[in-house]
Amino acid sequence: MSSTTLVALIIIGLVTGVVTGLTGSSGVMIVVPLVNMLLGIPIHESIGISLIVNVIAPIAISYTYFKNGNIDVRVGVWIALGSIFGAQIGAFFADQIPETGLGGSFGIFIILMGILICIKGFRGKKLESTKPVLEFKTEKRKNMAILMLGFAIGIISGVFGAGGGGMILLILVFVLNFPIRVAIGTSSLLMAITSFSGALGYFIHGNIRLVPGLVMGSGAALSGVVSARFANRVNEDILSIAVGVVFFMLGTLMILIA
């Protein structure tokens, strides 16, 4: 590994950690386009690297939120159970998708996530006062629904390497009506669990570069902890809008070069 590549990996990791620590969203939308376009690493392996980053950084970040009481462990367990199995299915399908098709599909995914993150930013202050999309008569039905949502998140994670952080955050806030800080903390923890399952699937299919992932993940963990500590002082709505715009631009670029 050249010194230029090492520096690039660290910088990308630091930027990714800041975004993940403040929003609870997956760093895949930063890692994959930059690693693929700047370092020339194939899409499948770029996604594998992003999954490693999405294991290391969120573990450190979620611990920071946990210390502040901003993680719902009970809901997290049900989502995690579903996402672990879904991630394996997603990783299998990703290995069957041609490189070009995966790049274009990933670009579309980034654009959609960018739009949803922007919407979250614009409507953030109103979310906690609204009713949840789903209401359940029994705890058993609620747990089963959350389990199926986790399964769907896992499939998305396995195909796109997203770790499910953004999807988990959106579901917790928009569907289950979680307070934004608890949603961020819980999604960070679940992202680490889901990404580990997805990374295992990519490893089995030979699409993991361990060293770049560890280097980038270490940088992301460092900056992620720092940004998570300041999360309560940052206007998360404005940040979400800005990040959403960047993701939209990156997604468009990925489609153009696919």
pLDDT digits 0-9 by tens, 53-69: 999 999 999 999 999 88
pTM passes above 0.85: no
**Residue predicted with more confidence, 167 or 132:** 167
Place of tokens 């949502």: 149
Percent over 90 (pLDDT), the chain = 17
Q: List helix spans (H) across 161-209.
A: 165-170, 180-204
Distance between CA atoms of residues 185 and 228, nearest Å: 9
Average of per-residue pLDDT across 159-174: 69
pLDDT value of position 218: 96
Residues contacting residue 143 through CB under 8 Å, at least 6 positions apart = 78
Question: pLDDT for 182-235, tens place per residue?
Answer: 888 998 988 888 788 778 888 888 878 899 999 999 999 999 999 899 887 777
Question: How much is the mean pLDDT over the chain?
Answer: 81
> Predicted confidence band at 166 (pLDDT cuts at 50, 70, 90)?
low
- Report the domain count for the chain: 1
Q: Among 19-23, 30-34, 53-57, 95-99, where is mean pLDDT lowest?
A: 95-99
**Residue predicted with more confidence, 132 or 241:** 241
Judge whether 38 and 145 are in contact, CB under 8 Å.
Answer: no
Average of per-residue pLDDT across 128-132: 52
pLDDT value of position 207: 79
Half-sphere exposure of 218 (CA within 13 A, CB side): 9
**Which structural domain, as residue segments, surrounds residue 233?**
3-257
Percent over 70 (pLDDT), the chain = 84
Judge whether 30 and 15 are in contact, CB under 8 Å.
Answer: yes
pLDDT value of position 127: 47
> Given a cut of 70, is residue 239 above it in pLDDT?
no
> Predicted confidence band at 87 (pLDDT cuts at 50, 70, 90)?
confident
**Residue predicted with more confidence, 241 or 35:** 35
- Phi, psi values for residue 72, rounded to 5°: -100, 100
> Which of 20-24, 55-59, 105-109, 119-123 has the highest average model confidence (pLDDT)?
55-59
> Predicted confidence band at 95 (pLDDT cuts at 50, 70, 90)?
low
Place of tokens 């394996």: 88
